[in-house]
């Protein structure tokens, strides 16, 4: 038996945020807890939504104590702020950090036995759905608005941990490319490559099946054709990336990821490396590592990434073609090719153990070990 979780409702396209007030009111909510990071508040992105709330006389408070890699402390202070506010709906505005924080706040509010946050790691055993969340992404990458996953940083233990829980999924996703138009080129590139990593890892993960494959292969196609132009702030490219990353999220949320994400999480926790950058650097090397465990799937990856003549290629040729296409896309949008200047060799044993313990690692198509993960890290410095 396969389970598949998706939002109750999603809105797509320029101006989609205008649907928020009507959805809020018709569901009977009374007050919004707007969860958005301080940078978005200061630059006016959050106001694109809060102005709509003001115009339609919807009461709200703003919670902005959110870090780029949200921490246990951010979540706990947010839980207290939500309780104090009296709000009955969360509107999460931002990238993965804001939406992940909102998920953790929402799930602990309705499942207070998990107030320590750490007990939510892995497959959480929550009993109640979280406080209702309307998620408005401002980056085209994490797809947090349509996933059952969120990631929290434990500074005390220098690690990130993944929480997987169908009870945390936003009930409404509002994917409006106009909310992403201010993203700088580097952030567009790294979050876009994170979305590509979601699609490729989800396509080859051990849990993949026909329904998830449908989403992932389409997402790879859309991201490949749109990321370069999105990095130039082209409106069509932005709109396509917003859709492509969402489609990737529809898939991987339900079947899992692999060792790329498992290795990326410790880099963010230990060195504060942006998650998208870490995933992007690792993608081609991990594809190389996994290639003998992927059947014919690299042929289809190469095909939708625009490689010609894949049907006349040998297995080794089309696998290499897929890896080369990923390298070319990463190079074109300015992604570094290694972990030099990020990883220090003395830290590799800790990083490898953390990656092996990560909830994403079991989904990898190739069985791995702490020693093999350590070797992968070392090969990139």
Residue 212 shares a structural domain with residue 335: yes
- Spatial strand order in the sheet of 159-164: 122-123, 159-164, 149-154
- Listed in sequence order, the DSSP H helices in the chain are 20-26, 38-42, 47-55, 72-85, 96-110, 185-204, 210-231, 235-255, 259-271, 275-290, 297-304, 315-332, 348-357, 370-379
> Is residue 228 within 8 Å of residue 320, measured between CB atoms?
no
Q: Are 207 and 313 part of one and the same domain?
A: yes
The reply to whether 89 and 147 lie within a common domain is: yes
If asked whether residues 50 and 173 sit together in one domain, one would say yes
CB 74 within 8 A of CB 117: no
Domain extent, residue 106, equals 9-180
Look up the CATH number of the domain holding residue 168: 3.40.50.1970
345 burial (CB, 10 Å; 0-12 / 13-18 / 19+) is exposed
| DSSP for residue 29 | -
3-class secondary-structure state, position 161: strand
In a domain, 294, yes or no: yes
Last residue of a domain, one of 180, 207, 230: 180
Same structural domain, 228 and 174: no
Residue 2 located in a structural domain: no
Q: Structure pTM?
A: 0.95
* Residue after which a domain boundary falls, among 141, 159, 180: 180
Last residue of a domain, one of 139, 156, 180: 180
Q: Would you say 341 and 197 are in contact if contact means Cβ atoms under 8 Å apart? A: no
Question: What pLDDT is stored for residue 304 in this prediction?
Answer: 98
Whole-number pLDDT of residue 172? 98
Per-residue pLDDT at 369:
98
Please give the pLDDT value at position 159.
86
Q: What is the pLDDT of residue 265?
A: 94
Contact between 208 and 202 under an 8 Å Cβ cutoff? The reply is yes
Residues 200, 136 within the same domain: no
Number of domains comprising the chain? 2
Residues 151 and 236 both lie in one domain: no
**Which parts of the chain sit beneath pLDDT 50?**
none
User: What pLDDT, on a 0 to 100 scale, did the predictor assign at position 160?
Assistant: 87
> Do residues 149 and 251 share a domain?
no
Pair (156, 114) in one structural domain: yes
Dihedral angle of Cα 191, 109, 250, 367, to the nearest 10 degrees = 80
Residues near 111 by beta carbon (within 8 Å), at least 6 away in sequence: 126, 127, 128, 130, 167
Residue 136 and residue 211 in one domain? no
Comparing CA positions, the residue from 253, 213, 198, 224 lying closest to residue 6 is 253
| CATH code of the domain containing 222 | 1.20.1090.10
From the number of C-beta atoms within 10 Å of its C-beta (0-12, 13-18, 19+), residue 89 rates as buried
Determine contact, residues 6/146, Cβ cutoff 8 Å: yes
Do the domain assignments include residue 3?
A: no
List of residues 6+ apart from 189 with CB closer than 8 A:
227, 231, 276, 280, 333, 334, 335
Asked if residue 258 and residue 167 are part of one domain, the reply reads no
């Amino acid at each position: 038996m396969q389970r598949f979780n998706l939002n109750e409702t999603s809105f797509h396209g320029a101006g989609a945020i205008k649907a928020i007030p009507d959805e809020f009111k018709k569901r009977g909510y009374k007050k919004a807890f707007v969860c958005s990071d301080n940078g978005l508040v200061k630059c006016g992105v959050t106001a694109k939504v809060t102005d709509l709330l003001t115009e339609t006389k919807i009461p709200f408070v703003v919670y902005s104590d959110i870090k780029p890699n949200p921490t246990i402390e951010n979540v706990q202070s947010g839980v207290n702020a939500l309780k104090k506010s009296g709000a009955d709906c969360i509107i999460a505005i931002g990238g993965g950090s804001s939406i992940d924080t909102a998920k953790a706040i929402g799930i602990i509010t309705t499942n207070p036995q998990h107030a320590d946050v750490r007990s939510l790691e892995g497959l959480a055993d929550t009993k109640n759905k979280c406080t209702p969340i309307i998620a408005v992404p401002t980056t085209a990458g994490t797809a947090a608005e349509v996933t059952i996953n969120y990631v929290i940083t434990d500074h005390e233990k220098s690690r990130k941990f993944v929480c997987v829980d169908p009870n945390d999924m936003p009930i409404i996703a509002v994917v409006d490319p106009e909310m992403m138009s201010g993203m700088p080129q580097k952030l567009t590139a790294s979050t876009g490559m994170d979305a590509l990593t979601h699609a490729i890892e989800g396509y080859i993960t051990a849990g993949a099946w026909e329904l998830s494959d449908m989403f992932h292969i389409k997402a790879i196609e859309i991201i490949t054709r749109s990321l370069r132009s999105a990095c130039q702030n082209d409106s069509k490219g932005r709109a396509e990336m917003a859709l492509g990353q969402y489609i990737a999220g529809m898939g991987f949320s339900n079947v899992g990821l692999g060792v790329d994400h498992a290795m990326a999480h410790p880099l963010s926790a230990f060195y504060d490396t942006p998650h998208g950058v870490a995933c992007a650097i690792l993608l081609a090397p991990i594809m190389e590592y996994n290639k003998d465990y992927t059947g014919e799937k690299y042929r289809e990856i190469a095909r939708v990434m625009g490689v010609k003549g894949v049907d006349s290629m040998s297995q080794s040729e089309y696998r290499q073609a897929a890896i080369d296409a990923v390298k070319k896309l990463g190079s074109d949008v300015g992604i570094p090719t290694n972990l030099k200047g990020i990883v220090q060799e003395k830290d590799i044993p800790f990083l490898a153990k953390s990656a092996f313990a990560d909830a994403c690692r079991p989904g990898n198509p190739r069985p791995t070990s702490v020693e093999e993960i350590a070797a992968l890290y070392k090969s990139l410095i």
